[in-house]
A and B are shown apart, each in its own frame.
Chain A
Amino acid sequence: MFLASARKLRSLGIIGMNQRNFGLISRYNPRHLYPLVDDKLKTKLLAQKAGITVPKLLGTVQYQHDVKLLKEILHPHDQFVIKPVKGSGGKGILVITEHDHSLYFKPSGDSIQLVEIERHVSNILSGLHSLGGKPDTVMIESLIQLDPVFSDYSYEGIPDIRIIVFRGYPIMAMLRLTTHVSDGKANLHQGAVGVGIDIGSGKALHAVQYGKSISHHPDTRKTFSELTVPHWDKLLQLAAACYEMTGLGYLGADLVLDRDKGPMIIELNARPGLAIQVANFSGLAPRVAAIEALKTIDPNPKLRAAFSKTHFAADADIPSLRQLRTRSDDP
């Protein structure tokens, strides 16, 4: 059987694309709030105002003629990341880990010239990676240092943690590990490994690559059963705080663990994908229903994180919640 039965999936609480777009995104994410997360510079400023740690901004390029200034901006830094401010899905991100005179080195060890970086920047400015091809801005950030916890689980890149936050409550989490095939990017489409993380403990539940279950990292051969994400409480609280920061009811918070600075937020997403359900081997619907059933939203992010921790833990008694239907199921 290559196809699952729709009834079965529904009973498991799997949310499909149409239901996500209709019942979650269009219902809980007011359109006018999108720019807050679609524009990464705005997100960064918001986060800083809220006292949330973010990667340091090294510089921005807004106009084509400023591309010439790139050399000076980059000169003092050995390591940096170049990002389109309005990019989506990790597109257009260039990571440089080493800088040697005129040569810049990518995590894979490939070297590129300054001209190539300039071309990349000018492509971003022309809107190649932005939604709808609109003119874009380039931001240059400090490189995140790999936390040793993940050194056995990632290949040529920094893993990130995606947490789905629904009305301020973290409801599902996934660790995205870079692999050789994903070219050091934490993008599941390109072959990164998605590891479902237990909201209650930060422990790995189950891992998938290209939608298929795997038990160990394809490059490092390390099994996932021993993997536990450190600073888990802090990560949940940071994610929960994004609700006050943006006002978005359904968002995906992308967080990383920096070796020196600890948990920080790198990006927010108003249209988080559904692959997280496959990585967790469970559906979002029961958890969404549990939050929708709440009469009031706790104004304290820490308390919300604690609520999620007890209610959405892997060993928590969720079946009773499974009976609930999400509001978006309403006929």
Chain B
Amino acid sequence: MHAKLRLYILVILIMGFGIGLILYKHFALGFPLLPDDKKAVWTIEARIDFAARGDPVIVSFALPPRTPDIVFMKEDFASPDYGFSEVTSPTGRRAEWSKRTANGPQTAYYRLSLYETEQIVSTQLTDDLPAEPEKPEFDEVIKTAAITLLEQVHSRSANTEIFTRELITTLNSKAPSQNQSLLLNEKSSEDYKTHLIINLLAMEGISARIVRGLYLEDGRRRQSLINFVEVYIGGQWLLFNQNTGVHGKPENFLIWQRGDQSLLDVVGGKNSQISFAIIKNVHSTRNLVVSDGMNKQAGLVDFSIYSLPIEQQNAFKMILLLPIGALIVVIMRLLIGIRTSGTFMPILIALALIQTTLLTGIIIFLTVVGIGLLIRSYLSRLNLLFVARISAVIIVVIAIIASISIISNKLGLDQAMTVTFFPMIILSWTIERMSVLWEEDGPREVFIQGGGSLLTAVIAYLFMTNQTVEYLTFNFPELMLVNLALILVLGQYTGYRLSELYRFHSLERRNVSGKR
């Protein structure tokens, strides 16, 4: 009783630990639970062109901020013969290229690969507090127009958020009133509009700032940054589209820069231009997560199978499938009650089947064992010592395998060449045991045990080749703990095996009829 309680506590601990690790990897590190989970990776290239005047050149370029919901996989800064440094200032990261003298047209590149994670970023109150809004200085006419407009909008809105939206939609309306036309000017640029909105909001005492960003669309070239307005409402910065008034960050939109600092400063050059090109690639989420984990040296990823060379990783892929096979054998033997020849021989056959594919594998297995049994029955007449005989069987098995390979090659059957993946010693033992079984218990027992082994092997094969199972065992080795817990529980099962329900079925009928 005590032992049982202890075992169940152990099982719960192991199972809890295993499941906990899996959940941690899924939710905290972003490992997908299914293999076909794909993610879009965006590669953005910013190209900076300018004409140098023969003086020292400094190019300072604002870089997008790192945020928890975006993973920067790779950043490249390329510009021939330029010195480069990345500068972090309170206003954000900047790239700085510099050169003593330069002449004529110059080009600098900045390339960034990124993907968005699905991590839930809690919308905590930012420590990014706004400065007190500066009241703008308009001339009298415009000021009057602004005040009138603000009063109109104010009367239509209940809170700051609605006020901002209303203000933007009014400014953008198709049929502008006189006030709006006056404010917007005839030839208003996007930048002008942004600053106008910020200024108008400042008159109401609302803090706002400019946000520049990029729409991520595959195959786009010569893109430029789009202006948005970010408004400080209720302790948070809210993003508004300055043309529609819609609130929130659009999908596939990368925020490049916040605040009024310049995007690009070129000292010693003129006619500077910047353009963006965007390419989308699809990668499996797992690979992205693993490489990100390696970069960040996250303990669970860094100290895992992923840190091994690829070749060893592939070996482990196979090894990590073995516990699944073991579980299948436990279920087949303890719950179903199938008899197999050799406890774990089915797993080894299943491993061979993985290499050879199912049908070919079964045919090869039956051929080798069949021919082996025939030759073995001849060997038993030769009066050999046991160890010598099993050694002879090994050689016979190798000869059979070699002939199958050669013959199938001559016949052009490529699949049969995979015969070499079968574990030869195990095959020899199987033949030896089945042969003894045949002599002592008759062919019936041979077919029962041989069939049982093959059936178990095929079921184990089906599970082990299942893509999801393979993916899960390799990427969540913690599953082994869950598996272990299951096997520990199954080891406690004292109920009937399925085969026993058949074995004792006559007994049931007799007792019923005999008693009543």
Given the interface pairs A2-B502, A6-B495, the reply to whether A128 lies near B386 with Cβ below 8 Å is yes
Q: Interface size of B by Cβ–Cβ distance < 8 Å?
A: 33
Which of B387, B440, B504 is A91 in contact with, Cβ under 8 Å?
B440
The answer on a CB contact under 8 Å between B386 and A3 is no
Comparing B128-136, B204-212, B417-425, B506-514, the segment that makes contact with chain A is B506-514
CB within 8 Å of A: which of B1-58?
1, 4
Report if B385 contacts A (CB, 8 A): yes
Report if B436 contacts A (CB, 8 A): yes
Report if B297 contacts A (CB, 8 A): no
The answer on a CB contact under 8 Å between A18 and B495 is yes
The answer on a CB contact under 8 Å between B496 and A278 is no
In the complex, residue of chain A having the shortest beta-carbon distance to the beta carbon of B500: A16
In the complex, residue of chain B having the shortest beta-carbon distance to the beta carbon of A136: B386
Report if A269 contacts B (CB, 8 A): no
A4 to B505, CA, bound (A): 5
Report if A101 contacts B (CB, 8 A): no
Which of A16, A91, A125, A127 is B496 in contact with, Cβ under 8 Å?
A16
CB within 8 Å of B: which of A168-184?
none
A127 to B495, CA, bound (A): 34
Comparing A7-15, A45-53, A104-112, the segment that makes contact with chain B is A7-15
A77 to B320, CA, bound (A): 59
The answer on a CB contact under 8 Å between B507 and A6 is no
Which of A12, A126, A277 is B386 in contact with, Cβ under 8 Å?
A126
Could you say which residues of chain B place their CB within 8 Å of the CB of A17?
A: 337, 497, 500
Which of A4, A22, A123, A189 is B501 in contact with, Cβ under 8 Å?
A4
Given the interface pairs A9-B507, A18-B334, A211-B506, the reply to whether A64 lies near B385 with Cβ below 8 Å is yes
Given the interface pairs A2-B502, A128-B386, A278-B503, the reply to whether A8 lies near B508 with Cβ below 8 Å is yes
In the complex, residue of chain A having the shortest beta-carbon distance to the beta carbon of B491: A22
Given the interface pairs A18-B493, A19-B495, A22-B492, the reply to whether A115 lies near B383 with Cβ below 8 Å is yes
Report if A60 contacts B (CB, 8 A): no
The answer on a CB contact under 8 Å between B496 and A9 is yes
A123 to B1, CA, bound (A): 45
Report if B218 contacts A (CB, 8 A): no
Which of A115, A125, A212, A328 is B494 in contact with, Cβ under 8 Å?
A328
Report if B442 contacts A (CB, 8 A): yes
The answer on a CB contact under 8 Å between A9 and B386 is no
Q: Interface size of A by Cβ–Cβ distance < 8 Å?
A: 43
The answer on a CB contact under 8 Å between B507 and A12 is yes
In the complex, residue of chain B having the shortest beta-carbon distance to the beta carbon of A16: B496
Minimum C-beta distance from A26 to chain B (A): 11
Minimum C-beta distance from B270 to chain A (A): 87
**Interface code A1-45, partner B: CB below 8 Å = 1, 0 otherwise?**
111111011101010111100110000000000000000000000
Could you say which residues of chain A place their CB within 8 Å of the CB of B441?
A: 189-190
The answer on a CB contact under 8 Å between A22 and B494 is yes
Minimum C-beta distance from B55 to chain A (A): 88
Could you say which residues of chain B place their CB within 8 Å of the CB of A213?
A: 506, 510
Report if B190 contacts A (CB, 8 A): no
CB within 8 Å of B: which of A214-247?
none
The answer on a CB contact under 8 Å between B495 and A278 is no
Could you say which residues of chain A place their CB within 8 Å of the CB of B508?
A: 4-5, 8-9, 12
Could you say which residues of chain A place their CB within 8 Å of the CB of B507?
A: 4, 9, 12, 14, 277-278, 281
Minimum C-beta distance from A281 to chain B (A): 5
The answer on a CB contact under 8 Å between B511 and A128 is no
The answer on a CB contact under 8 Å between B506 and A212 is yes
The answer on a CB contact under 8 Å between A190 and B497 is no
Report if B86 contacts A (CB, 8 A): no
Minimum C-beta distance from A14 to chain B (A): 5
Report if A119 contacts B (CB, 8 A): yes
Report if B445 contacts A (CB, 8 A): yes
A45 to B206, CA, bound (A): 103
Minimum C-beta distance from B507 to chain A (A): 6
Could you say which residues of chain A place their CB within 8 Å of the CB of B386?
A: 122-123, 125-128
The answer on a CB contact under 8 Å between B383 and A6 is no
Minimum C-beta distance from B382 to chain A (A): 9
Report if A66 contacts B (CB, 8 A): no
Report if A330 contacts B (CB, 8 A): yes
The answer on a CB contact under 8 Å between B511 and A3 is no
CB within 8 Å of A: which of B466-498?
492-498
Could you say which residues of chain B place their CB within 8 Å of the CB of A212?
A: 506
Could you say which residues of chain B place their CB within 8 Å of the CB of A19?
A: 494-495
The answer on a CB contact under 8 Å between B496 and A6 is yes
Interface centre among A2, A5, A126, by most chain B C-beta atoms within 10 angstroms, is A126
23 pairs, CB–CB < 8 Å, chain A vs chain B: A2-B502, A3-B498, A3-B505, A4-B501, A4-B508, A5-B508, A6-B501, A14-B504, A14-B507, A16-B494, A16-B500, A18-B495, A115-B383, A118-B383, A119-B383, A125-B386, A127-B386, A277-B507, A278-B504, A278-B506, A328-B494, A329-B494, A330-B4
Given contacts A3-B498, A22-B494, 19 further A-B contacts (CB under 8 A): A2-B505, A3-B501, A3-B502, A4-B501, A5-B508, A6-B496, A6-B501, A8-B512, A9-B504, A12-B511, A14-B507, A17-B500, A92-B440, A119-B383, A123-B386, A126-B385, A208-B506, A211-B503, A328-B494
